[in-house]
Amino acid sequence: MRSSRKRLNSLSQGSSTFSSLANIFSNLTFMTWGRIFGSKEAVLDFCYKTGLIPDPNSEPNCKVPRCTGKYYKIEDRASCKIGWRIRCQVCGHKIIPTKDTWFENIKLDYEQALFVAFCFVCEEPISRAILQIDVNKNTGTNWYGYVREVAEVIISNEFEKIGGIGKIVECDETHICSRKFHRGRYLRSGQVWVFGGICREDNSTFFVEVSDRTRETLMTAMQKYIHPDSFIVTDSWRSYEGLTRYGFAYHEMVNHKKGFLSKHDKTINTQKVERLWRSVKQDITFFGRKDQSDEVQGHAIASELAKHGYMAKFIRPLEQPGLRFERICKDISRVFPGPFGKGLELRKI
Contact footprint for Zn ion (CB under 5 A): 62, 64, 67, 69, 88, 90-91, 93
Q: How far is the CB of 61 from Zn ion (least distance, A)?
A: 8
Q: How far is the CB of 92 from Zn ion (least distance, A)?
A: 7
Q: How far is the CB of 90 from Zn ion (least distance, A)?
A: 5
Contact call for residues 205 and 312 (beta carbons, < 8 A): yes
Collapsing DSSP states into helix, strand and coil, what is residue 118?
Answer: helix
Q: Which is nearer to Zn ion, 31 or 64 (CB)?
A: 64
Q: Which is nearer to Zn ion, 74 or 90 (CB)?
A: 90
Q: How far is the CB of 65 from Zn ion (least distance, A)?
A: 9
Least Cα distance to 108 among 147, 75, 69 occurs for 147
Report the C-alpha gap between 244 and 251 in whole angstroms.
7
Contact call for residues 37 and 116 (beta carbons, < 8 A): no
Report the C-alpha gap between 218 and 221 in whole angstroms.
5
Q: How far is the CB of 97 from Zn ion (least distance, A)?
A: 16
Q: How far is the CB of 79 from Zn ion (least distance, A)?
A: 20
Contact call for residues 70 and 60 (beta carbons, < 8 A): yes
Strand partners, 145: none
**How far lies 255's CA from each of 152, 190, 202, 328, in Å?**
35, 29, 25, 42
**How far lies 348's CA from each of 93, 146, 213, 270, in Å?**
36, 19, 20, 28
Q: Which is nearer to Zn ion, 62 or 284 (CB)?
A: 62
Q: Which is nearer to Zn ion, 89 or 214 (CB)?
A: 89
Report the C-alpha gap between 85 and 260 in whole angstroms.
64
Q: How far is the CB of 93 from Zn ion (least distance, A)?
A: 5
* Total length of the chain: 349
Q: Which is nearer to Zn ion, 88 or 96 (CB)?
A: 88
Secondary structure (DSSP) of 306-327: HHHHHIIIIITT--SHHHHHHH
Q: Which is nearer to Zn ion, 93 or 148 (CB)?
A: 93
Q: How far is the CB of 247 from Zn ion (least distance, A)?
A: 55
Q: Which is nearer to Zn ion, 29 or 61 (CB)?
A: 61
Q: Which is nearer to Zn ion, 74 or 177 (CB)?
A: 74
Q: Which is nearer to Zn ion, 94 or 107 (CB)?
A: 94
Q: How far is the CB of 100 from Zn ion (least distance, A)?
A: 18
Collapsing DSSP states into helix, strand and coil, what is residue 50?
Answer: helix
Alpha helical stretches, state H, the chain:
2-10, 21-27, 33-36, 40-50, 110-121, 126-133, 137-157, 215-225, 271-283, 294-310, 321-335
